[in-house]
């Protein structure tokens, strides 16, 4: 005995409701009861460090290449040529996304490497320590902090993740493409 056409239609309608309603109910349950949501953080650096916004840092000479840029700021003791070179190489490793990051060397001596800016502490803040590295968002908030000697590959992975999760606006992307074609790259 075959099912009636009316019964088949009802089963199809229930299956259609299930396809659309069941995922929403599962998502609501995951959020409400925190089921299946990972609690671990994936950043290698310290998230949300206890440092003031960049505008309040006692630093003179802070500048970024663009308003939408992220900033890699590092505290440079007197001799830090190898550290500056390491962060320059990390910047180059970003490839097509390199235009979204500016570098700032705070302290140290000599001219900064290409693409970096140099600044000096007016006074030493209590949260500062030599060799420390900060990743600052476009609004000037430090979002990640690293101790001296952190492996560059960990910092690179975090920056790539940040840039992936915070895509550039279409206007900024268009300007970067225009600059690259004008430079002959």
Q: Let me know how long the chain is.
A: 185
Tell me: do 109 and 150 sit in the same domain.
yes
Tell me: do 91 and 154 sit in the same domain.
yes
Query: Hey, how many other C-beta atoms are within 10 angstroms of the C-beta on 50?
Result: 8
| Full domain range(s) for residue 172 | 46-183
* CA pair distance 137, 58, nearest whole angstrom: 18
Residue 117: CATH number of its domain: 3.40.30
3: exposed, middle or buried (C-beta count within 10 Å: 0-12, 13-18, 19+)? exposed
Q: Which of 149, 141, 142 is nearest to 87 (CA)?
A: 149
pLDDT at 17: 87
Tell me: do 167 and 139 sit in the same domain.
yes
Q: Which of 146, 147, 168 is nearest to 158 (CA)?
A: 146
- Compute φ and ψ for 102, nearest 5 degrees: -110, 155
Tell me: do 147 and 66 sit in the same domain.
yes
Query: Hey, how many other C-beta atoms are within 10 angstroms of the C-beta on 136?
Result: 23
Walking along the chain (185 residues) 10 residues at a time, the average pLDDT comes out as 85 90 88 74 79 89 74 86 90 92 88 87 90 92 92 93 84 56 55
Tell me: do 126 and 175 sit in the same domain.
yes
Crossing angle, helix 81-93 and helix 152-165, to 10 degrees?
Answer: 40
Using the structure block, give the residue that is written with the tokens 């609004």: 139
- Compute φ and ψ for 73, nearest 5 degrees: -105, 130
Tell me: do 120 and 163 sit in the same domain.
yes
Tell me: do 97 and 143 sit in the same domain.
yes
Tell me: do 17 and 77 sit in the same domain.
no
Report the run of H or E that residue 174 belongs to, with start and end.
helix 170-183
pLDDT at 173: 52
Tell me: do 146 and 169 sit in the same domain.
yes
Tell me: do 34 and 51 sit in the same domain.
no
pLDDT at 73: 93
pLDDT at 175: 58
pLDDT at 142: 92
Q: What total of structural domains would you count in the chain?
A: 2
Tell me: do 104 and 130 sit in the same domain.
yes
pLDDT at 72: 93
pTM (predicted TM-score): 0.69
Tell me: do 82 and 133 sit in the same domain.
yes
Query: Hey, how many other C-beta atoms are within 10 angstroms of the C-beta on 146?
Result: 23
């Amino acid at each position: 005995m075959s099912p009636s056409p009316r019964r088949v239609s009802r089963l199809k309608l229930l299956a259609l409701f299930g396809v659309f309603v069941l995922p929403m109910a599962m998502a609501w349950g995951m959020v409400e009861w925190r089921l299946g949501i990972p609690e671990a953080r994936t950043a290698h650096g310290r998230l949300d460090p206890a440092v003031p916004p960049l505008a309040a840092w006692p630093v003179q000479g802070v500048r970024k290449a663009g308003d939408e840029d992220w900033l890699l700021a590092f505290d440079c003791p007197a001799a830090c040529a190898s550290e500056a070179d390491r962060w320059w190489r990390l910047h180059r490793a970003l490839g097509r996304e390199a235009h979204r990051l500016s570098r700032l060397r705070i302290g140290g001596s000599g001219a900064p490497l290409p693409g970096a800016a140099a600044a000096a502490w007016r006074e030493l803040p209590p949260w500062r320590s030599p060799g420390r590295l900060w990743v600052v968002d476009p609004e000037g908030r430090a979002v990640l902090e690293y101790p001296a000697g952190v492996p560059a590959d960990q910092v690179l992975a975090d920056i790539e993740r940040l840039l992936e999760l915070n895509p550039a606006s279409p206007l900024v992307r268009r300007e970067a493409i225009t600059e690259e074609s004008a430079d002959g790259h």
